[in-house]
Structure 1
Amino acid sequence: MQIVGYMILLVFYLCYFIKMFQQRKQGIQTDHMGKGKQGIQKKIEIMMKGTTIATFIIEILSIYLNTMTFPLIIRIMGIFLGIIGDIVFIASVLTMKDSWRAGVSYEEKTDLITNGIYQISRNPAFLGFDLIYLGMCLMFFNTILLIISLLAMMMFHLQIKYVEEPFLKQEFKEQYLQYYQQVNCYIGKRTGFK
């Protein structure tokens, strides 16, 4: 179980850092968390960055200590959630191509991506994070891991609501509003819209 937990995290973070390195080689700054922002947006991005780092540390410790609370079947469900989270995150990064960023950049021009996995989720990268965090909680449950994971997931949602969506509405106007009305925040298409 520990090896599987480490592998899920390894795949996820390899994807994250390889993409960041590839973009850096092309002169693209990927990490914009807390940069060029003020007020609540800056606070959200800094807190989001802090909680994701803390979650990673607690996940590694939980795997190392092999904290086991749930029965095997629940832990296996956690494995599947973690693997699905990896797949969703990788699909989101590949689909975004060079428009992928960690945080919002007001200076760099990016494209509004609505194809691939973005046809069924406006935020598949955050969905991938959430699935991995939930999977780790099921596999290596402990109270500290649960609390920090929920806090990180809450910060992702605040990032979407107060940083990314306002930026996308301002940047892409009607194109984003149509997309927003057709595709749910995390998963699924909305019905009843033409």
Structure 2
Amino acid sequence: MAYKIIAILILAAFYGIYYIKLISQRKQGIQTNLLGKGKKGFVKAIEDSLKIVTFVAPIVELISIFMDTYIDLTWVRVLGCILGILGVVVFAVSVLTMRDSWRTGVPDDKKTELITSGIYAYSRNPAFLGFDLIYLSILFIFFNWGLLVITVLTVVMFHLQIVKVEEAFLIKTFGEEYLEYRKKVCRYIGRKR
């Protein structure tokens, strides 16, 4: 029962942060969810696929939580709880650090600020790192094959969004400033020497 409560709190905190930010920006006239909007070709395919898997994933996660599926290894479940809490913290800090530059998807016509300080000095994509930690945490706590498949699909789609969409957008938008930043900070975690 404790694992169910922890997992539900992790998901509630994560989605709470996401929707509070979305509503807050909407009140300021900022469109936050840009996935697939105004996109074409490969970028649209990636963003639409990401939209689908991130819609299906919480459904599969909740089913797994209420079915209470798991591998009987306490340390794996405890690790899942730790990863989930860490994921929520990383996601929250990344959203707060980005301020009004934070978006889901990339804006075609609006230039945002390139954030390189705070948590972004140690990860170019801390929000995505937070997503991955949260999805992995639920997998570790309530393992089943369906959850494994949706978790892998989601993590792969997040990675494709970063590598094929967001990095291209950042290079086009910020040019040399982003390229210099990319030389110093790793995609997910750490600084380069």
Short-chain TM bin:
over 0.9
The 8 Å contact of residues 25 and 31 in structure 2, kept in 1 or not, is answered as yes
Whether the aligned pair in 1 keeps the contact of 2:111 and 2:173 (CA below 8 Å) is no
Give the equivalent residue in structure 1 for 2:40.
38
Aligned partners of 1:163, 1:73: CA distance in 2, in Å?
A: 37
**Equivalent position of 2:173 in the other structure:** 171
1:127 aligned to 105, 126, 129, which one? 129
Q: TM-score, normalised by structure 1?
A: 0.97
- Distance apart, 1:35 and its partner CA: 0.8
- Superposed CA deviations along residues 85-125 of structure 1, whole A, max 9, x for unmatched, are 00000010000000000000011221000011000000001
Instruction: Answer yes or no: is 1:99 the counterpart of 2:101.
Output: yes
Superposition RMSD in Å: 0.6
Aligned match of 1:11: 13
Cα distance between partner residues in 1 of 2:144 and 2:72: 10
Which residue among 87, 90, 95 is the counterpart of 2:89? 87
Q: CA contact under 8 A between 1:70 and 1:139: conserved in structure 2?
A: no
Out of 155, 158, 161, which is 1:159 matched to? Answer: 161
**Residues 121-175 of structure 1: CA deviation (Å, up to 9, x unaligned):** 0000110010011111110000110110010100001001111000100100000
Give the residue type in structure 2 aligned to 1:2.
Answer: K
Deviations 1:2-46 (A, max 9, x none): 011000000000000000000000000000000111100000000
AA partner of residue 90 (structure 1): A
Percent of aligned pairs sharing the same letter: 52
How much has 1:70 moved relative to structure 2? 3.5
Letter in 1 for 2:136: L
Tell me if structure 2 keeps the 8 A contact 1:70–1:141.
Answer: no
* CA distance, structure 2, for counterparts of residue 115 and residue 86 of structure 1: 19
1:69 Cα deviation after fit: 1.3
Consecutive unaligned residues in structure 2, runs of 5 or more: none
Alpha-carbon contact 1:70-1:138 (below 8 Å) kept: no
Measured in 2, the distance between the counterparts of 1:188 and 1:175 equals 19
CA distance in 2, matches of 1:147, 1:184: 27
Gaps of 5+ in 1: none
Aligned twin of 1:75? 77
Give the 4+ runs in structure 1 shifted more than 6 A. Answer: none
Q: Is the 8 A contact 2:35 2:104 kept in 1?
A: yes
